[in-house]
Structure 1
C-alpha cells in the first residue's frame, strides 16, 4: 500500500472521529462549542504535525544529502486531499442518517469547502513537521562538521588567481 494512502486513510479516520466527537460534545454542551471546535481542530493538526515530523526525521536520517530527500510534499498533499474528500463524504452521510449534530451542510459544500479545509488541516502541519524534523537531523549532523571560515576560502582564491 502506498505511503500516502496509509496517511490519507488514517487522517480520514482521525478527522471523522473528531467530527463525531465534536457533534456529540456540541449537542451535549452547546455553550462550549467554541472550546470543543478548537480542541478537535488542534487534535487533527497535532497528529498531522507529529506524523510529518517523524517522516522528516526518518527521511533526513536515510538521506544525509538534502538533494536526495524524498518528496514528502506530494505525499502529504495526496493524503490531505484524500482525507478531505472521504471525510467530507462520510461526515455528510453520517450527518444525514445517524448523527444530526455533526453538521447539516450539503454534499457539494462538504466535498468542496469541507474537503479543502480538511486537506489544509492535514497538509500544512505535516509539511511544517517534516521541515522541522529534517532541520533537527541536519542540525545534529552538522554539529561535528568544521566551521566554514571565509578567510580560508579567500586565501585559496587569492593563491589560485596569483598563479
Structure 2
C-alpha cells in the first residue's frame, strides 16, 4: 500500500506540474510569440529539475533505509508507474483543458495526447527520476564511506 501511495503521489504531482507548465507556456506563447523557444526551454528545465530533485530525495531515503546496495527498494518500478500514469494523465487533462476558451495547449487530438505526447512526458519523468535516484544513492553511499571508521592498518614488515 505504501508503494502505491508513493508512485501515485509522484504521478499526480509531476503530471499536474506538466499541465501547469503547458498552460503557462500556452499563455506565454499567445502573449510573447517570439520568445517561444526560450519559454519551452525554461519549462523543460523546471520539469526536469523537479523530477531530478524528487529522485534524489527517493535515492537518499532508500540508501539510508537499506545501506546494502543489493537490498534497496525497487525504485525503478515506482518511477516507471509514476511516469506512465503522470504522462497519460497529463495528456488527458491537457486535451480536456484545450476545450476551454482562451486555453491554447496546441489543439492536439486525444489520440496524440495519450500516446505520442504522453510518451514524451513519460521519458521526461522516468529518465531524470532514475538519474536522481542514482545521484541520491551515490551521495548517501559517499557520506557513509566518509563517516565509516578506518580499518586498522596491518603492521609494516620489518626489512632488515
- Please indicate, yes or no, whether the TM-score normalized by the shorter chain is above 0.5: yes
CA positional deviation for 1:96 = 2.6
Is 1:141 matched with 2:150? no
Counterpart pick for 1:67 among 70, 73, 85: 70
Counterpart pick for 2:129 among 126, 131, 134: 126
- Give the number of the structure whose residues are more often helix, by fraction: 1
Corresponding residue for residue 22 of structure 1: 25
Counterpart pick for 2:99 among 86, 96, 99: 96
CA positional deviation for 1:12 = 1.1
Q: Distance in 2 between matches of 1:27 and 1:132?
A: 38
Q: Distance in 1 between matches of 2:135 and 2:101?
A: 40
In structure 1, stretches of 5+ residues that fail to align are 153-163
Is 1:35 matched with 2:38? yes
CA positional deviation for 1:95 = 1.2
Structure 1 stretches of at least 4 aligned residues deviating more than 3 Å after TM superposition:
none
TM-score (norm 1): 0.86
Structure 2 CA distance for partners of 1:99 and 1:79, relative to 1, 3 Å: farther
Q: How many residue pairs end up in the alignment?
A: 149
Corresponding residue for residue 60 of structure 2: 57
In structure 2, stretches of 5+ residues that fail to align are 155-160
CA RMSD of aligned residues (A): 1.6
CA positional deviation for 1:83 = 0.7
Corresponding residue for residue 13 of structure 2: 10
